[in-house]
Amino acid sequence: MTTVVPLIRALERRDDLSADERVLLEQLPARTRKFSKGQEMVAQGSRPRESCLVVSGLAARVQHVGDEGRRQITALHIAGDFVDLHSLLLKVMDHSVVALANCDVVFTPHERLLDITTRTPHLGRLLWLSTLIDAAIQRAWMSSIGRRSSAAQLAHLICEMYLRMEAVGLAGELSFDFPITQHELGDTLGLSTVHANRTLQELRATGLLKWQGSLVTIADFDRLAAFADFDATYLNLSKEPR
C-alpha cells in the first residue's frame, strides 16, 4: 500500500516511528477515491465511518453560515494531511470537506484507527498530535482573521502554505502551486471576493510575492514573514519525542 506513504512521512516529520509502527500503518486498509474540483468528500452533519487522508491535491474544511450562502473555510489540507481524523471521535461532522482541486484521497475505517490507538498508544498519540496541529493552525488563522490587516493576513497564509508544502516536498525554489480561486481565498480570509482580489493586488504591488495562474512565488521569505508577523512555531515542523 504505497498510498499511506504520505501519512507515514507526515507522522515521521514530528516523531520517529518504530519499524512495527510503520508496518501497522502500512497494513491499514486504504480505499482510494478520486474527487474532482468542487466535489464534497465529507458532508456536514453526516456520521462518517471512515477517516480520510489527502494523498494529492488540495482540500478545504468548509462551514456554512446563515442562510445567504455565506461560508468560511476553516482549514486547507495538502498531501499527507489527515483531513478527517476529527470525525473519529466527534461522530457528527460540524463542517464539510471539499476538494478545491482534483484530489486523491484515501479512506480508512474508524475501527481500524481505534484499534491502532489501542495497540500502540504512541501511534495513537501521533494521530492525536495531527489533530492538535490542525487546532494550532486554526488558532493562528483565528488570530489572523480577527487581528491582522487583510494584506498581512494573506501574507501570513502564504508563509504558512509555503512551509507546509515545502515540508512535504511540494514546493520549489520559494514557489508552490496553490490552485485556489479568489472567491475561495475570500472564504478562507473572511473577506469578500472583491476585497480578496484587491488585497492580493496590494500584496503583489509590494513586490513581496508573485502569483501567476496558480503558481505563487515568494520574492523574499524573511521580508514576507516580517510583514505578516509570521512565527512558524505553531506548525510544529520539528521532530520531538511525543
Partner DNA sequence: CGCGCAATTGATTGATGTCAATTGGAGTGG
Partner DNA sequence: CCACTCCAATTGACATCAATCAATTGCGCG
Residues making contact with DNA (CB under 7 A): 149-150, 181-183, 190-195, 197-201, 213
Kindly indicate which of the ranges 96-104, 114-122, 177-185, 205-213 contains the residues binding its own copies, using the contact rule CB under 8 A. 114-122
Minimum gap (Å) between residue 99 Cβ and DNA: 13
Q: Which is nearer to its own copies, 138 or 197 (CB)?
A: 138
Nearest alpha carbon to residue 174 among 137, 218, 215: 218
Q: Which amino acid is at 59?
A: A
Q: How far is CA 60 from the centre of its chain?
A: 7
Question: Binds 201, which of DNA, its own copies, none (CB < 5 to 8 A, cut-off by type)?
Answer: DNA
Question: Binds 132, which of its own copies, DNA, none (CB < 5 to 8 A, cut-off by type)?
Answer: its own copies
Minimum gap (Å) between residue 175 Cβ and its own copies: 27
> From the list 70, 183, 204, 210, which residue makes contact with its own copies (rule: CB under 8 A)?
70
How many Å apart are CA 23 and CA 172, to the nearest integer?
A: 31
Q: Contacts with its own copies in 150-169 (CB under 8 A)?
A: 152
Q: Give yes or no for residue 226 binding its own copies (CB under 8 A).
A: no
| Helix (H/G/I), strand (E/B), else coil: 29 | coil
Phi then psi dihedrals of residue 75, to 5 deg = -165, 150
Which three cell numbers, joined as nine digits, stand for 20? 512495527
Question: Binds 181, which of its own copies, DNA, none (CB < 5 to 8 A, cut-off by type)?
Answer: DNA
Q: Which residues, 6 or more positions from 237, have their beta carbon under 8 angstroms from its beta carbon?
A: 13, 163, 167
Kindly indicate which of the ranges 19-27, 121-129, 162-170, 205-213 contains the residues binding its own copies, using the contact rule CB under 8 A. 121-129
Q: Which amino acid is at 46?
A: S
Q: Give yes or no for residue 125 binding its own copies (CB under 8 A).
A: yes
Q: Give yes or no for residue 40 binding its own copies (CB under 8 A).
A: no
H, E, C per residue of 36-103: CCCCEEECCCCCCCEEEEEEECCEEEEEEECCCCEEEEEEEECCCCCCCCHHHHHCCCCCEEEECCCE
Q: The sheet that has 31-35: what strands, in order across it?
A: 31-35, 103-109, 50-56
> From the list 9, 12, 163, 234, which residue makes contact with its own copies (rule: CB under 8 A)?
234
Residues that bind its own copies (CB under 8 A): 45, 61, 63, 65-67, 70-72, 74-75, 86, 89-92, 94-95, 114, 117-118, 121, 124-125, 128-129, 131-136, 138-148, 152, 189-190, 229, 233-234, 236, 240, 242
